[in-house]
Amino acid sequence: MLGLQKGRYRARVAESDADVRAAQRLRHIAFGEDRPGADPEGLDSDAFDARCSHVLVEEVGSGRLVCCFRILPLPDGGRIGESYSAQYYELSPLAEFEGPIVEMGRFCIHPEVTDPDVLRVAWAALTRYVDESGVKLLFGCASFKGTDAEAYLDAFAMLKERHLAPRRWLPRVKAPKVFRFAARLRRKPDARLAMTRMPPLLKSYLLMGGWVSDHAVVDDQMNTLHVFTGVEVGAIPPARKRLLRAAAH
């Protein structure tokens, strides 16, 4: 499950408490050691960690942890209320989703690491898991750094124009502070600027045909704006699916 090696990097599932703490330390660094909700002991942790599998991407030579994320498998949409995302989004429309679903969360890459192969290995590992487990929907919260929506208006305008969730699955507002970009924005997006400001993880979701909520949650504790993001595995474009599977095998 989820174990593979490609070039300089390997992906594996955390096997011990020490592995999980290493992931929590990396998350603390990547999400901002000086953010309002940061733990003074240097760990980013929550109650969901105990319920999730944690995936580590490491340098083969040094063993250095360069990327991590966690996954929460659920048997179908009827259990989506147990997810991390359900704290922030009203997800009852997705309760009708049939088949296994997986929440991907707390994805981060060490801020000193810029090698794009790290993200490729992470997605390759997840692709292998999705194929082996018959997952039908990947979902999670894709985050923009900071809570100033003004910095990302072209990105949000592009999400509104091209990537909103199908009406039948559209998450509803639940969090107390949100930016309703689909309702508020009337601008045409500058495509170049929009993609420059789009977070890498969200770009990956969108390239796979992913869709987003019509509003962003303002998360002061994490110092982020995030959108609910879903990828229906059966709807991934065939060419993109071939690329993902080639990397995973």
Tokens standing for residue 48:
């969901």
- Sequence-distant contacts of 159-162: CB under 8 A, at least 24 apart: 159/212, 159/227, 160/185, 160/214, 161/188, 161/189
If one compares 128 and 39, the residue with the highest pLDDT of the two is 128
Grouping H, G, I as helix, E, B as strand and the rest as coil, residue 76 is coil
Average pLDDT of 6-21? Answer: 96
Beta bridge partners of 226: 143, 217
Tokens standing for residue 163:
């990537």
Please list, residue by residue across 160-191, b when 16 or more beta carbons sit within 10 angstroms of its beta carbon and e when fewer do. Answer: beebebeeebbbeeeeeebbebbeebeeebee
What pLDDT was estimated at residue 36?
Answer: 78
Tokens standing for residue 25:
């330390």
User: Tell me: the pLDDT tens digits for 175-212?
Assistant: 999 999 999 999 999 999 999 999 999 999 999 999 99
Average pLDDT of 104-127? Answer: 94
The residues, any chain, with a CB within 8 Å of residue 230's CB and separated by 6 or more, are: 94, 137, 138, 139, 165, 169, 210, 211, 212
Domain architecture of the chain: domains with CATH:
4-248 (3.40.630.30)
In what helix (H) or strand (E) does residue 70 lie, and over which residues does it extend?
Answer: strand 65-74
| Nearest to 165, CA basis, from 198, 104, 213 | 213
If one compares 39 and 216, the residue with the highest pLDDT of the two is 216
Please list, residue by residue across 122-150, b when 16 or more beta carbons sit within 10 angstroms of its beta carbon and e when fewer do. Answer: bbbbbbbbbeeeebbbbbbbbbbbebebe
At 247, the pLDDT band (50, 70, 90 cuts) reads confident
Q: Give the integer Cα–Cα distance in Å for 171 and 174.
A: 9
At 32, the pLDDT band (50, 70, 90 cuts) reads confident
Q: What is the mean pLDDT of the chain?
A: 94
At 150, the pLDDT band (50, 70, 90 cuts) reads very high
CB 137 within 8 A of CB 101: yes
Phi and psi torsions of 228, nearest 5°? -70, 135
Summarize the chain as % helix, strand, coil (round to 5).
Answer: 40, 25, 35
Is the model's pLDDT at 74 over the cut of 70?
yes
Q: Give the integer Cα–Cα distance in Å for 184 and 5.
A: 45
